[in-house]
């Protein structure tokens, strides 16, 4: 992954001698490790990546994923695998591989304090600097291999989005529906979910980050399903909203307004556009409807090796969109005590606008009870 190392180094100022990424124990794994070394499977707890200014990467892997590591490195002449046991062996090898490098860049946003304390101790000559902004800037635009993985993750999410209406029946619980969705994602090739699946029935839909429970589906309920697949470590993020049984005229109109808000946001996407304009395009639609003020979150965020991949946008984010960014567009309207509607898609910013990654139908769907 020489090109990715070079991309991170381009954003680093001043230039360090090396960039060191260290994983702790799951879930404290820095996904930047997998950005620099695109191994599709394996846990890599305690592993270290040392990326040098010339684009070469040393990977310290435990014996637990050595085979996956060796396999992935076969396709990349710039990656060298070192299989080590935890603890002292790792420290001695890091000392050796860092060698004469004095100025080390670290990912302050992800490195655990324990790792930092160890590094200070066993690399007494080194100076450390924060690489987290450079890493974020490098990771926010995707290369073709990343887009291919994201597309597959989005295809899986979209396929399940199409299946959800057939899973709805009176009395199913939120957790049961979430389990069915996750099972289907794995059947389609996902290695897991990209975050805790949200299934919200009725009034629960008014809380964007609701956690599903034992509530049973009843006629007249709105349904918000927000979920995503992990495919070769890349995360999709899709939300579809449905209605079950007895019609609710207000929620039907709410859905139409959210569709319109999403279309307005999508039309604002192009390289060079201020990110806040995408948010504001959606907000203007919602704020000129009867549901003014009911958009209660930023309209999107970048996706990648994690579902919230380090960058998001709202009415105050001046950053400009760049070609190759993979982002969500997810306006919603939330009505406490009643229900909610959110429509979320994943797109890639292209030369002239955007391209959808997620493809499941977005229009209002009433499922008979």
The site for ligand GLY (CB under 6 A) is made up of 195, 226, 237, 330, 344
Query: In terms of CB distance, is 47 or 283 closer to ligand GLY?
Result: 283
| Contacted entry of ligand GLY, Mn ion, none for residue 155, CB cut-off 5 to 8 Å set by kind | none
Query: In terms of CB distance, is 65 or 309 closer to ligand GLY?
Result: 309
What is the smallest separation between the CB atom of 158 and ligand GLY, expressed in angstroms?
Answer: 15
Q: Of the candidates 223, 202, 199, 218, which has an alpha carbon nearest to the alpha carbon of residue 210?
A: 199
What is the smallest separation between the CB atom of 170 and ligand GLY, expressed in angstroms?
Answer: 27
What is the smallest separation between the CB atom of 189 and ligand GLY, expressed in angstroms?
Answer: 20
- Note whether 78 and 1 are within 8 A (CB): yes
Query: In terms of CB distance, is 226 or 248 closer to ligand GLY?
Result: 226
Q: Kindly tell me the burial class for residue 145, based on how many C-beta atoms sit within 10 Å of its own C-beta (0-12, 13-18, 19 or more).
A: middle
**Rounded Cα gap, residues 217 and 38, in angstroms:** 41
CB atoms within 10 A of CB 359: 17
Sign of CA dihedral 26, 31, 33, 39: positive
- Note whether 319 and 247 are within 8 A (CB): no
What is the smallest separation between the CB atom of 301 and Mn ion, expressed in angstroms?
Answer: 6
Rg of the chain (C-alpha set) = 22
Query: In terms of CB distance, is 23 or 328 closer to Mn ion?
Result: 328
Work out whether 309 is an interface residue with Mn ion (CB under 5 A): no
| Contacted entry of Mn ion, ligand GLY, none for residue 195, CB cut-off 5 to 8 Å set by kind | ligand GLY
- Note whether 86 and 54 are within 8 A (CB): no
Work out whether 237 is an interface residue with Mn ion (CB under 5 A): yes
Ranges within 311-350 binding Mn ion (CB under 5 A): 328, 344
Query: In terms of CB distance, is 252 or 308 closer to ligand GLY?
Result: 308
Q: Which residue is nearest to ligand GLY (CB)?
A: 226
Residues binding Mn ion: what is the number (CB under 5 A)?
4
In terms of phi and psi (left: phi > 0; alpha: psi -120 to 50; beta: otherwise), the region of 202 is left
What is the smallest separation between the CB atom of 77 and Mn ion, expressed in angstroms?
Answer: 37
Query: In terms of CB distance, is 46 or 298 closer to ligand GLY?
Result: 298
Reported as type and span, the H/E element at residue 122 is helix 113-122
Residues that bind Mn ion (CB under 5 A): 226, 237, 328, 344
């Amino acid at each position: 992954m020489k090109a990715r190392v070079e991309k991170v180094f381009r954003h680093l100022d001043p230039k360090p001698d090396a960039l060191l990424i260290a994983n702790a124990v799951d879930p404290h794994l820095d996904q930047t490790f997998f950005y620099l070394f695109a191994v599709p499977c394996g846990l890599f707890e305690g592993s270290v990546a040392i990326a040098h200014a010339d684009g070469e990467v040393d990977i310290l892997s435990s014996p637990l994923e050595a085979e996956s590591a060796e396999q992935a490195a076969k396709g990349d002449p710039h990656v060298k695998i070192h299989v080590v046991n935890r603890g002292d062996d790792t420290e001695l090898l890091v000392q050796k591989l860092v060698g004469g490098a004095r100025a080390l860049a670290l990912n302050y946003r992800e490195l655990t304090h324990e790792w930092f304390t160890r590094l200070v101790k066993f690399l007494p000559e080194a100076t450390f600097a924060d690489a987290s902004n450079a890493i974020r800037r490098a990771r926010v635009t995707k290369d073709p291999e990343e887009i291919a993985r994201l597309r597959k993750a989005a295809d899986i999410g979209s396929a399940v989005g199409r299946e959800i209406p057939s899973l709805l029946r009176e009395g199913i619980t939120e957790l049961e529906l979430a389990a069915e969705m996750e099972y289907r994602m794995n059947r389609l090739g996902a290695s897991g979910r990209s975050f805790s699946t949200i299934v919200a029935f009725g009034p629960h839909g008014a809380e964007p980050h609701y956690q599903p429970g034992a509530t049973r589906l009843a006629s007249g309920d709105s349904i918000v399903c927000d979920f995503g697949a992990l495919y070769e470590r890349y995360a999709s993020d899709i939300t579809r909203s449905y209605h079950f049984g007895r019609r609710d005229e207000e929620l039907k109109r709410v859905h139409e307004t959210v569709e319109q808000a999403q279309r307005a946001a999508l039309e604002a996407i192009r390289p060079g556009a201020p990110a806040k304009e995408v948010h504001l395009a959606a907000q203007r639609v919602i704020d000129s409807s009867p549901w003014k003020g009911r958009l209660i979150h930023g309209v999107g965020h970048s996706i990648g090796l994690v579902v919230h991949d380090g960058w998001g946008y709202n009415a105050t984010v001046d950053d400009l969109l760049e070609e190759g960014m993979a982002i969500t567009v997810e306006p919603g309207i939330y009505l406490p005590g009643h229900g909610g509607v959110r429509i979320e898609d994943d797109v890639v910013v292209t030369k002239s606008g955007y391209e959808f990654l997620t493809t499941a139908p977005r229009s209002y769907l009433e499922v008979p009870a």
